A and B are shown apart, each in its own frame.
Chain A
Amino acid sequence: DSGVTQTPKHLITATGQRVTLRCSPRSGDLSVYWYQQSLDQGLQFLIQYYNGEERAKGNILERFSAQQFPDLHSELNLSSLELGDSALYFCASAAFLSSYNEQFFGPGTRLTVL
């Protein structure tokens, strides 16, 4: 158990819908990262927050948005869902911004868009 929690574990929805994925980082970790893993592929970095502020953006679609709240939990919002958005979405947390800091991954949320 990494200490990072993600809810829900599974989500099945229809095209055009909007969903919210939630992540609670490890106690004390200030950085939260969001990744997308499509079937049998590596992870794609989406976005990073540090202590409530957006720190870096990767290949995140305009239909997707995220935020980190004062209690440091984070939410990833996916809207106008398409079939291709079906994937495993991981949240990871780290103590600081340092490159050497290990990122601890949550168990992921599996999103299926029908």
Chain B
Amino acid sequence: AQTVTQSQPEMSVQEAETVTLSCTYDTSENNYYLFWYKQPPSRQMILVIRQEAYKQQNATENRFSVNFQKAAKSFSLKISDSQLGDTAMYFCAFIDSNYQLIWGAGTKLIIKP
């Protein structure tokens, strides 16, 4: 079965610091896609960044970047220059061949002023 594991239930950093959220997954597929979604207190699900497994280059979106290690099945999210608005639940997700998103349990990120 395909699974996504986020081993950090909660993290807390000071504003402007850099934080890395970890995610590992398990799949036997070779081509797939990985996503990080953010869920702020409003509960809205917002796509942060996505990575195609066949691309070796790590995806970046402004202050957000990933460290994708395909062999290790690892997909961590780095947030640089963290801001108060980054406070949210962050979910790692993997899409399978049936186009279903398999979700991790989430990491609660708190940015302190």
* Cβ-neighbour of A43 out of B32, B52, B99, B103 (below 8 A): B103
B11 at the interface (CB under 8 A from A): no
Which of A45, A48, A92 makes the CB contact (< 8 A) with B45?
Answer: A92
Select which of A48, A88, A108 is within 8 A of B100 by beta carbon.
Answer: A48
Task: Please name the residue on chain A nearest to B45 by beta carbon.
Answer: A105
**B43 x A99 contact (CB < 8 A):** no
Set A31, A33, A41, A88: member contacting B106, Cβ < 8 A:
A41
Is B68 an interface residue, CB under 8 A from the partner? no
Number of interchain pairs (Cβ within 8 Å): 56
Q: Total interface residues on B, using CB and 8 Å?
A: 23
Q: A103 at the A/B interface (Cβ < 8 Å)?
A: yes
- What's the interface size class on A, roughly? 20 to 34
Please judge, given known A-B contacts A43-B91, A56-B99, whether A100 and B50 are in contact too, CB under 8 Å: yes
Mask: chain A, 13-50; 1 = CB below 8 Å from B; 0 = not:
00000000000000000010101000011111100100
Q: Report A-chain residues with C-beta under 8 Å of the C-beta of B33.
A: 99-100
> Could you tell me if A97 and B99 are in contact, using CB atoms closer than 8 angstroms?
yes
Chain B residues near A100: list those with CB within 8 A. 33, 50, 52
Contacts of A55 in B (CB 8 A): 98-99
B19 in contact (CB, < 8 A):
no
Closest to A94 in B: B99
Instruction: Tell me the B residues contacting A by CB distance below 8 Å.
Output: 32-33, 42-47, 50, 52, 91, 93, 95, 97-106
Having A43-B103, A45-B103, A56-B100, one finds 7 other A-B pairs with CB under 8 Å, namely A42-B91, A42-B106, A43-B91, A45-B101, A55-B98, A58-B100, A103-B47
